[in-house]
A and B are shown apart, each in its own frame.
Chain A
Amino acid sequence: MKDAFRRRKRRGGSGLGTFRSQLTLQLMVLPCMAFLLIFAYVPIAGNVIAFQDFNLSGGFFGSRFIGLAHFREMFSDPSFYMAMRNTVILSLLNMLIVFPAPLLFALIVNEIPILRFKKIVQTSSYLPNFISFAMVASMWIFLLDPKGMVNQSLMLLHLTKHPIEFWTEPGLFRPLSVVIGIWKGVGWGAIIYLAAISGINPDLYEAAKMDGAGRIKRIFYITLPNLIPLFSILFILNVGTLFSGNLDQSVLLGNSFNKETSYVIEYYSLQMGLELTRYSYATAVSFFQSVMAIVLVLIANWFSGKVSGNRLF
């Protein structure tokens, strides 16, 4: 062990030496780094227009600097607060219900004893992920229409006298958004957990079986503890989306009846920024979202480290 450490230390003695010895690998990383640099880091500089009265012909350098004017306007707009509230609530629901659903689904799928059936379940659960949200929305609107299949069935079974107005009742938008989110993403999200489960040492299960542990105990004492590091990392990354997302649902399933629960920040940014060609204002909204995302990821990372010992960085 000591020798191996020394060898590693010797080989990694100089940075340049390490780079030379890993030249091929470093070169392979280079395109990805260039990609990140060009598409993720360089555009950060564009945030400067959030503090400008940006005009396209003037560009970054020819546009007037106006300080925090856009932020002041944003924080004085009641629509912004409504959009922020809805975004946070929908994201929290996603985090609490939609996010853990793939883990639960992976545990269930993993316990299916018949391989053929397991494969059918897995494949059919992935499929909704490949359907565009526009199609998904049309399908669900159709299904839950007052004259749609769901309402007809409910009325046939005498569970309701009048059709339920699923899409015009503000209180139903959030639960429906969660249901659609699970339906669309649970199979795809479970892949990573199934892969992690397949990496767990089978000897652990054998030993637990010999000690008399049943299926449930094996899940709770072997599978779940092994998945927690992965779950924690995904959770930290997910926390960053608390102030964003759900644009698809908002645009395609939202309407003037359920706006008080369906209108989200990104839709606000689209309407009050991009559609009015107010690029500076849209950037200010997006800048606010990014700052909040960074703060939340840092807090979640710290919290995860404290609670489970798993940190992303």
Chain B
Amino acid sequence: MGKKAKGLSALLAVCMGAALLAGCAGNNDGGAASATGTNGAAGTNESAASGTAAASGDSSPITLSLYSDRGWYSDWTGPGAQRIEQKTGVHFNVKKPVQDDGDGKDIALMIASNNMPDVMVVDSGNKMLQQLIEGNYLYSMDELIEKYAPGLGTILNEQYGPELLTNFKEKDGKTYKLVSGYQTEKYLEEAKKNAGLAPVWLPQLVVRKDYYDEIGRPDTSTPEKFMKALEQMAAKHPDKIPYIGDKSQHTGDLSWFNPQFGVAPYYVDGDSVKNTIHDPKWKEALKFGFELASKGLLTKESFVNTNDVTAQKVAAGDAIVWAYNSTAENAAPPKDNPDTQFEVLPPFESYMYPTIPTGWLALVVPKSNKNPARTMKMLEYAASKEGQEDFFFGIQGQGADDFKSLSDGPHFYFDSAVPNDYFQEGKPTYTKSFSDALNKDWGGTWSQVGFGEPIVLIANWAVTNTVQWNPTDEKKVAYDKLMSSKMKFFPEFNFKIDSAGEFGVIDAKIKSLKADYVTKLVFAHSEAEFESTFASFEKVADQLGIAKLEAEYTRQYAELKQKLGNP
């Protein structure tokens, strides 16, 4: 090897080593926080000083880092985000996982590497959220609001509902998260007024209209009547799958049938609160599944198929009844009969859809935030009606037909014919072309316009949902009337079970046990086998310590009832 070649090889080796070490070197904020006009460490006098500047309308450019645990969160580069950036000067450098990370693995790494972003927008049920609060990593919202954005407190109390700053208080009496999509009294009132209480995605049983017509459209409002009708349709079409759903709807706890039987998230037995495995209604739902399966009406496919596979089979016309929701009525007809459509069967008389109000997304501000003042001013704007318009409605137009392009809108207009409590000008309504584009390709359209859910910081559903609500649509009003009475809220069940603690482990084991036994029970060979399997299921659950877990449920239930003023 010549001297030159040796030298080159040595250089190459050194470069490789340097590259390796560079790769290993920490990058404090993922290259994200190249902030312009930012201040020093959080909570210092410098930040306080910049707070004054922000209060006086500081819109100088600043880059804040934002972490979201939602895979669908935007990278803050779309037209919507750019418009907001021009208005506020705030650019968010977004870090997000490829897939939703509700387990908080990313947050765990951030804590371990002491590398927190300026803002986090995560699922309100993220398992690491409590650790962030208890580990003293977060600013208290009350303090931030008081110091930097008093207007935000007013907006939250008046437009969202006071519950946002009262219902999420921790043991120390402080609120650390701003929760979007929380069903406050104010929201429920608005939703009721606008026929928007019952979401379109409530679990339903959907039937092919042609087959249902064929058997004379019998009443299906009880499990027995439904089963009889399904048997009749299956007998006429033996080559079809009588009932089909996907594994997420059935594996675990037979969740698709639970609302039909009015199963609550927990079973209140006198003063004590028990797991659903002790709820007679849940056993009834299981028995229903068992009876369907023993008649060949429920097959193992519904416990194995992914939703894609199920959707393909439904589209191909392979199924009679489909586990889906009210949007099925807009779905394309099955391939084997383009002249028919899907129809939602009326829910069973016992139908009850339970909701434990916990909210949708939680926004928190870590103490590592480089400019709390600007952050809070941004939040104040985002929470306001103006901010909600910019974040969720896009560009305002003059009327329904006013439209240029997806990126430039106009995306909405105020329909003066429909009064609205939040906007004097009338109900915010999507322009026709934008609405058509959404109906054609929901996800694709949102990513093109670059606003809406993918850039959410805080959402006031009472405002943002107005574009979806249509109190003049008779069909929607009828659906809301039918289903809203079947929805029930259970704030007293909002238990906090630490997943890594003793109760969390028992809870996880019971869930896993349920998933194992549900299939054994549904596909039992006889009623005697069903009963003996159920008895052995309860016995194993006892051995896993379900009584301990239920004692904890009961304790927290009593506390929550007291807190909610219902002792």
Contacts and interface: CB of A to CB of B under 8 A. Distances in A.
Contact of A278 (B9, B111, B505): B505
Interface in A229-272: 255-257, 259, 271-272
A259 B304 contact: no
B16 A24 contact: no
Nearest to A260: B516
Contacts of B500: 276-278
Contacts of B327: none
Interface in B52-107: 103-105
A128 interface: no
Interface string A157-196: 0000000010110000000000000000000000000000
B304 A257 contact: yes
A111 interface: no
A57 interface: yes
A275 interface: yes
A105 B519 CA distance: 40
B309 A141 contact: yes
A146 B104 CA distance: 37
B298 interface: no
B248 to A, nearest CB: 12
Contacts of B16: 28, 31
Interface residues of A, number: 35
A34 B20 CA distance: 8
B465 interface: no
B6 A24 contact: yes
B131 A168 contact: no
Given A142-B309, A277-B104, A279-B108, A256 B516 contact: yes
B281 interface: no
Given A141-B309, A256-B303, A277 B9 contact: no
A30 B18 CA distance: 10
A168 B512 CA distance: 17
A138 B308 CA distance: 10
B524 to A, nearest CB: 13
B17 A34 contact: yes
A277 B499 CA distance: 7
Contacts of A168: 300, 303-304
B303 A56 contact: no
A34 B23 CA distance: 12
Given A27-B10, A278-B505, A145 B1 contact: no
A255 B303 CA distance: 8
Contacts of B235: none
A6 to B, nearest CB: 24
A310 interface: no
A130 interface: no
A167 to B, nearest CB: 5
A43 to B, nearest CB: 12
Contacts of B19: 31
Q: How large is the interface on B (under 10, 10 to 19, 20 to 34, 35 or more residues)?
A: 35 or more
B556 interface: no
A262 to B, nearest CB: 12
B547 interface: no
Interface in B1-39: 1, 6, 9-10, 12-14, 16-17, 19-21, 24
Contacts of B301: 145-146
B131 A256 contact: no
Interface string A49-93: 000000111010000000000000000000100000000000000
Contacts of B499: 275-278
B518 A256 contact: yes
B128 interface: yes
A259 to B, nearest CB: 6
Given A56-B111, A57-B131, A167-B304, A276 B313 contact: no
B274 interface: no
A138 B305 CA distance: 10
B558 interface: no
B216 interface: no
A276 B505 contact: yes
Contacts of A142: 309
A291 interface: no
B508 A277 contact: no
Interface string B433-456: 000000000000000000000000
Interface in A263-307: 271-272, 274-279
B103 A256 contact: no
A96 B219 CA distance: 59
Given A34-B20, A256-B251, A256-B518, A276 B9 contact: no
A255 B247 contact: yes
Contacts of B300: 165, 168, 257
B218 interface: no
B309 A145 contact: yes
Contact of A56 (B10, B131, B309, B519): B131
A24 to B, nearest CB: 5
B20 to A, nearest CB: 5
B318 interface: yes
A27 B9 contact: yes
A274 B518 CA distance: 25
Give me the 9 closest cross-chain CB pairs, A-B, nearest first. A27-B13, A57-B135, A31-B16, A56-B111, A28-B13, A168-B300, A31-B17, A276-B499, A256-B519
8 contacts: A31-B19, A56-B111, A56-B131, A138-B308, A256-B516, A257-B304, A276-B508, A278-B500
Given A27-B13, A138-B308, 14 more contacts: A31-B16, A34-B21, A38-B20, A38-B24, A57-B135, A79-B509, A142-B309, A255-B251, A256-B519, A271-B512, A274-B105, A277-B103, A278-B499, A278-B500
Interface of A: 23-24, 27-28, 30-31, 34-35, 38, 55-57, 59, 79, 138, 141-142, 145-147, 165, 167-168, 255-257, 259, 271-272, 274-279
